Amino acid sequence: MASIPLLLMGCGGVGRQLLHHVISCRPLHSQQGVRLRVVGVCDSKSMVAIPDVLTSEFRDDFLLQLCEIKSNGSSFLDLTKTGECQVYSGEEIGRKVIDVATALSSSSGLALIDCSASSETIGLLSQVINLDGCVVLANKKPLTSPLEYYDKLVSQPRRLRHESTVGAGLPVIATINRMLSSGDPISRIIGSLSGTLGYVMSEVEGGRPFSEVVTSAKKLGFTEPDPRDDLGGMDVARKALILARLLGHRIELDSIKVESLYPEKMGPANIPLDEFLANGLPLLDEAIQKRIESAASNGNVLRYVCLIEESRCEVGLQEVSKDSALGRLQGSDNVVEIYSRCYSKQPLVIQGAGAGNDTTAVGVLADILDIQDMFLHSPSAA
């Protein structure tokens, strides 16, 4: 049996959902000959770890307790009096992660799961890989860091999985890697990689004002608490950079042309959220509507997409054929069209739910199971 020691960084919505999936899938994984052994969990300020990471693991009821603590907005530091675990904070967290990875390096190795939203984890991730561990990412920021750090992180690709950084549970990364490794060069990728912006543009196309759709999307929980985090396009730009680098583009995040759907003068640094929603958004309706009408006059529709070709990588509003997969897109699904030598006239299309804690956590869990062969040499796997 493959025994995989897991240390989870990030206990927000995705991280908690992942722990629930690990617990609920115990019978299935037992049939498959896999044991996922959670030995540590971190949030942004603290970490809990099992005292003996070599042979022990957190009980499932304790993992559920951790999820409840974070759902209630409390801290792991409150667990210091329980004796159930060791609790660390501040700079101790990074040191403890490396201690755990070092202790496990001579046996199974550690699987470090990054479900945080931090840009500060890349050093730890690279060190764990150098200690014969594996890394699974839902966090996009390590893969969009400067190339100097990116190259170190991807230096051992067999020890890295990051499907959920682009399409949640959709097999975008795996498909691209299979195509490239089979000698089918990819010439173009165009995709709608934001469920929020996909929903907004398809609703506006139906005749609703842009401001009304964005406000509704916020109330439905489709956007970030500040919708400008979605409307600015940087989340899509990070996904585009991850895909472009997979294709061999040696570019940085700031070299991607990104179209924001609001002007800089309406940004968070200039006006508060309430003012943006009440007075700023309605001022954007007319310009968006004109672009939609212009696209329609050409027989097209408007979508917010990433476009990656040999000489460019950009993110923004594009006219696409209304008969294409992107043109038919409705709601919050993600769609990716991949053009290659084998798919030159009709692209390979990947479509489905590309957002949500549940979908993303499923993608992370699938990535963890995909690295199980790296742990078959452990003593407990015999």
* Residues comprising the chain, all counted: 382
User: Residue 91 in contact with residue 114, Cβ under 8 Å?
Assistant: no
Tokens of 125: 């991730």
Enumerate domains of the chain plus CATH numbers.
Answer: 2-169+359-375 (3.40.50.720), 186-353 (3.30.360.10)
- Distance, CA of 320 to CA of 382 (rounded, Å): 54
Which pLDDT belongs to residue 225? 87
Q: Which of 70, 81, 239, 265 is catalytic?
A: 239
Q: At what angle do helices 210-219 and 195-205 cross, to 10 degrees?
A: 140
Residues 6+ apart with CB under 8 A from 266: 228, 276, 280
In degrees and rounded to multiples of 5, residue 189 shows phi and psi of -130, 130
Q: Provide the token pair at 353.
A: 């739910």
Predicted confidence at residue 24, as pLDDT, reads 98
Q: Is 239 a catalytic residue?
A: yes
This prediction has a pTM of 0.94
Q: Among candidates 107, 124, 103, which has minimal Cα distance to 8?
A: 124
pLDDT means per 10 residues, the chain with 382 residues, are 94 96 98 96 94 94 96 86 81 96 93 95 96 97 97 96 93 96 97 93 93 93 90 96 97 97 97 96 97 96 96 95 92 94 96 88 96 72 44
